[in-house]
Amino acid sequence: MKKPRTWILVADGAKARIVRKLACDTEIGERLDDLIYEVEHKPLRQIMSDRPGRSFESCGARRSAIEYHSDPVRDRQVRFALMLSEHLQDRHTAGQFDRLAIVAEPRMLGILRQLLPQTLKELVVSEIGKDLTKLPADKLHTALAGLRPCVSHSQLDRTSR
């Protein structure tokens, strides 16, 4: 029986890394075999650079600002999560991995929980609400190895969900 391949998705709202092999699982030469995804990070002041429009009250001549009806940062995170789930679905359909562990910033973890298709949700063996995206690759692999009981090949940690 072949050993199941577990991928680890490390993500926040604008950056993601899919760790296909932990450094301790591989030889030094093939150590960094990660897939990296990023979206252009714009500060909120650039996304919402225009002042909100103004409207008249229903009675009288008073005017007031119109409030935004959406959160542009959350909308960007949702689009990024959709893109990640599509890429993961394509890779799973191609037979590249059997199980998935998710280590994500807590808000992004919630978005991923909502948006992952059922076929990927069934593959999730662990979910950890922690932001590790800012770590360099070698430190990330060390940190993930420290979390290894939660994302190991031998244990299925479904209690963390």
State residue 126's pLDDT score. Answer: 92
State residue 42's pLDDT score. Answer: 67
Q: Could you state, in chain order, the average pLDDT of each consecutive group of 10 residues for the chain (161 residues)? A: 86 91 54 75 63 64 66 86 95 94 95 94 93 88 74 40 39
State residue 152's pLDDT score. Answer: 45
pTM of the model: 0.73
State residue 28's pLDDT score. Answer: 44
State residue 99's pLDDT score. Answer: 93
State residue 31's pLDDT score. Answer: 46
- Options 3.30.420, 3.40.47, 1.10.3470, 3.30.200; which CATH number does 1-42+91-161 get? 3.30.420
C-alpha triplet 44, 49, 51: angle, nearest 5°: 120
Distance CA 77, CA 16 (A): 11
State residue 159's pLDDT score. Answer: 36
CA distances from 79 to 22, 65, 73, 84, 146 (A): 28, 28, 10, 9, 31
For residue 86, the tally of other CB atoms under 10 A from its CB is 12
Contacts of 20 (CB under 8 A, 6+ apart): 5, 7, 33, 34, 35, 96, 97
State residue 128's pLDDT score. Answer: 93
Secondary structure, 3-state, 53-94: CEEECCCCCCEEECCCCCCHHHHHHHHHHHHHHHHHHHHHHC
